[in-house]
Amino acid sequence: VNATESMAGTMKTPDGKTHTTTSTGTSTDTWMKTSKGWMLHSMRPGASKTTMDGKPYDPYAALPMTPGKKGKT
């Protein structure tokens, strides 16, 4: 299944300012029918885009680096 998600809202940053954010993304999802019903088997992320106050925004860039983990600092 090719899925598309979107979100819009407001958030308050630690400095007390309120910002408008939007996010859209796609994924390819695989579902399996089991005795308990349909269950999500896997999800492969696709393209995504996030904005804050209308400007491109990388939400992961603001996260602190965790020792032993790869990521942005």
Distance CA 68, CA 4 (A): 32
Summarised one tens digit per residue, pLDDT across range 13-38 is 888 999 999 999 999 999 999 999 99
> At 54, is the secondary structure helix, strand, or coil?
coil
Confidence (pLDDT) at 20: 96
Is the pTM above the cut of 0.75?
Answer: no
DSSP 66: P
DSSP 19: E
Residues 3 and 27 sit within 8 Å (Cβ to Cβ): yes
| Per-residue tokens: 25 | 């993304």
- Of 38 and 73, the one with more pLDDT: 38
